[in-house]
Structures are given as structure tokens and as C-alpha cells.
């Protein structure tokens, strides 16, 4: 598997100012990094909680993770939002900059409906496998509940939309439906970004609560 990580924020109020995450706003606008009691990168009034890795700013409207992986796992994870989110639309643009340093593991990970360390869904974009996988972790057990071959390239920007509505989870890439799967085990949770054993650039993330 490609990931393993810790807890989410307590509610939909961001850690910095106590205001709610607003639907449709760019959650990666003009970010800065803070390494205090809780490491985070701040974007406008929003705060992403850094669970692991050393995240770095590349330019004013996006973030990039450069190759300084977690010593034990290579995982680099940041999260935002509420454990109470249910139906939503999560949009993001990204580039995979390098191939995995430890194939066949590694790649880009988008988390959604993350409830606890043992309860979440995630879409994995695996360059080495040329495949997108929908992973579920439920009560500590991992399973791949859907997968689709997909021609992924380095240095190419992808526009991805994750829809989760009435227990149906959908991944749309550049306007094309790639995976759609109904699964009822996890009904609410926040969103997150993940990188494992490679370099990835994220640019413009937004969520629309439905």
C-alpha cells in the first residue's frame, strides 16, 4: 500500500483563525509554512495540518514537496477540513515531477472521507504501475476496492475532481470519468494531500460542500 497516517482536524474550522472553510475557495492560495507546536502551511485564512514530511513552497499559488521523505515510510501528508464532511466535490491540479525512488511503491495520494488513522478512502496515482487505485482502510485493514489503468506522465499537469455523493465515490481526470464506485463503510471525514517516494507539485485546491 502507499500510505499510513494520523489524525485529522477536530472540526471544519481551520486551526489558524477559527473561521470555516468556504466552499469553492482556493485552499492553496499564497501559502506560507509554520513550524510551531503543530506544523502547518497556511493559505490565506486556511491552515493545512502537516502530519509528516517537509513541505516547501515553490511559488505563490501552489506548493511542492521536494525529496526529503519521512525516514521510515517516505510518506508526506497534510490534511484540512472536518471529520463531519459528507457529500462534497474536491478539486485539485497537480504534477508528478519525478518517478518513485522505491518502485513499485510511491506516487501521489488524495485522501477523502478521512475519519481516523484506521478509517479513510484515498485515490492513489501510481506512476510505476500506470494505474489509479481507490484504496479503503477500515478498522486497520487495507483493501483496493477499484482500480483503473491510466497513462500517467511526469511533468504533466492533471486536473482532478473527486466527488463523493450518497456513498458513491468518483474520480474525474481532465473531464473524463476514470473510476466510480459505491461503498458505504465510511460516510464522513476530511480531505488531504499525500506524497510517497517522489516529488509532486500541487496547485489550486478547492472543496464544494453539497
Cα separation of 185 and 85, whole Å?
15
In the numeric block, the cell 485529522 is attached to 8
Cα separation of 176 and 155, whole Å?
20
pLDDT at 23: 61
Q: Given its phi and psi angles, is residue 12 left (phi above 0), alpha (psi -120 to 50 degrees) or beta?
A: alpha
pLDDT at 84: 93
16, 57, 88, 151, 195 from 101: Cα distances, Å: 34, 21, 33, 19, 12
Domains and CATH numbers, the chain: 31-209 (2.60.120.560)
**How do residues 42-52 score in pLDDT, each as one tens digit?**
776 688 888 88
Burial of 147 (0-12, 13-18, 19+ CB in 10 A): middle
pLDDT at 22: 62
User: Could you give the count of Cα atoms lying within 13 Å of 4 in the half-sphere of its Cβ?
Assistant: 10
Write out residues in the chain with pLDDT < 70, as ranges.
1-24, 36-38, 44-45, 59-62, 65-73
Burial of 127 (0-12, 13-18, 19+ CB in 10 A): buried
DSSP 8-state assignment for residue 20: B
pLDDT at 15: 37
pLDDT at 68: 56
Cα separation of 97 and 100, whole Å?
10
**How do residues 64-77 score in pLDDT, each as one tens digit?**
766 555 556 677 88
The side-by-side arrangement of strands in the sheet containing 62-65 is 55-59, 62-65, 200-209, 88-96, 157-165, 168-173, 176-182
4, 73, 102, 103, 147 from 91: Cα distances, Å: 22, 27, 28, 27, 20
pLDDT at 43: 77
Which of these, 196, 199, 60, lies nearest to 124 by C-alpha position?
196
pLDDT at 185: 97
Amino acid at each position: 500500500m502507499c500510505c499510513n497516517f494520523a489524525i485529522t482536524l477536530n472540526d471544519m474550522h481551520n486551526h489558524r483563525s477559527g473561521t470555516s472553510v468556504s466552499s469553492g475557495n482556493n485552499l492553496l492560495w499564497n501559502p506560507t509554512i509554520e513550524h510551531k507546536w503543530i506544523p502547518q502551511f497556511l493559505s490565506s485564512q486556511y491552515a493545512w495540518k502537516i502530519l509528516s514530511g517537509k513541505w516547501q513552497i515553490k511559488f505563490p499559488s501552489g506548493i511542492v514537496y521536494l525529496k526529503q521523505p519521512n525516514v521510515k515510510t517516505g510518506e508526506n501528508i497534510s490534511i484540512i477540513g472536518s471529520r463531519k464532511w459528507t457529500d462534497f466535490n474536491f478539486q485539485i491540479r497537480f504534477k508528478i515531477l519525478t518517478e518513485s525512488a522505491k518502485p513499485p511503491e510511491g506516487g501521489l495520494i488524495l485522501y477523502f472521507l478521512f475519519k481516523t488513522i484506521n478509517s479513510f478512502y484515498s485515490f492513489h496515482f501510481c506512476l510505476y504501475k500506470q494505474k489509479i487505485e481507490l484504496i479503503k482502510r477500515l478498522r486497520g485493514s487495507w483493501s483496493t476496492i477499484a482500480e483503473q489503468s491510466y497513462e500517467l506522465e511526469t511533468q504533466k499537469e492533471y486536473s482532478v475532481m473527486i466527488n463523493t455523493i450518497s456513498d458513491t465515490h468518483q474520480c474525474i481526470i481532465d473531464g473524463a470519468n476514470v473510476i466510480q464506485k459505491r461503498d458505504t463503510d465510511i460516510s464522513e471525514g476530511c480531505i488531504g494531500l499525500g506524497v510517497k517516494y517522489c516529488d509532486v507539485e500541487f496547485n489550486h485546491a478547492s472543496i464544494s460542500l453539497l
